Amino acid sequence: MAFGVASVVTNKGKAALADRLRTTPGTYTTSPKYVAMGTGATGAGRTAAVGDTALSTEVESRTSGTESVVTTSVTNDTYQVTGTIAATATRAVDEFGLFDASSSGNLIFSATLNVISLTNGDSIAWTAKIQLT
């Protein structure tokens, strides 16, 4: 499949949302607050899809984002994570993900983007939203 711009809650993400509604989640015991970015989607010809389990080429360390619940359409209907990642080299960022761990873990939210070119020292302040509709 050719590269395209898209953002999805993955299959793992859907399972995680359901699991975490329980009093005691069985499998997904940590929240998807770990923000990740990568540079490999264009080269891999990857468009974000529900079956994604990892980014194509993840770069830099994940950051533990700030979680909140915000309003999009109905009061408090949206889960939001914000986090900033700095580039330690020139980067052509074209993918984003929310994971439930600081390394490895489950990809809950996957996105592919038009390339954002960064030079060493630049950062991206990410804001991801999952609205329940």
Partner 1 sequence: MVSVTADVIAGPATAARLGVPVGSVITTQEARYYRSRWQRTLWRLRHPRGGHITTLKGSK
Which residues make Cβ contacts (< 8 Å) with residue 89, sequence separation at least 6?
120
Among 92, 101, 105, 107, binds partner 1 (CB under 8 A): 92
Q: Any contact of residue 133 with partner 1 (CB under 8 A)?
A: yes
Nearer CB in complex with partner 1: 24/119: 119
Among residues 7, 31, 47, 57, the one that binds partner 1 under rule CB under 8 A:
7
What whole-number distance in Å separates Cα of residue 18 and Cα of residue 15? 5
CA–CA dist 3, 1 (Å, integer): 7
- The total of other beta-carbon atoms located within 10 Å of residue 76's CB is 11
Among 4, 9, 49, 57, which residue interacts with partner 1 (rule: CB under 8 A)? 9
Can you read off the two tokens belonging to residue 98? 């929310």
CA distance 99 to 117: 23
Number of residues interacting with partner 1: please give it, by CB under 8 A. 32
Q: Which of residues 19-78 bind partner 1 (CB under 8 A)?
A: 72
Summarize as ranges the residues that interact with partner 1 (CB under 8 A): 7-9, 72, 84, 86-87, 90, 92-93, 96, 109, 111, 113-114, 116-131, 133
